[in-house]
Amino acid sequence: MTGTFINIATVIIGGILGCLLGSKLPERVRQTVVTGLGLFTLAYGISMFI
């Protein structure tokens, strides 16, 4: 149950930070972060499938 609360807290904190700081980052940096997270998620999903 502790893990659930930690997950909730990190999602909320990440969302707040994204709302506050996301608009201050250049578009290229935001696009790079989103692309990197997408590639990581794809690789992780494939590794879990195999």
- Round to whole Å and give the CA distance between 37 and 50: 20
1: pLDDT confidence band, cut at 50, 70 and 90?
A: confident
Q: Give this prediction's pTM.
A: 0.64
Q: What does the domain layout of the chain look like in residue ranges?
A: 2-49
- Round to whole Å and give the CA distance between 37 and 48: 16
Tell me: the pLDDT tens digits for 23-50?
Answer: 888 999 999 999 999 999 999 999 999 8
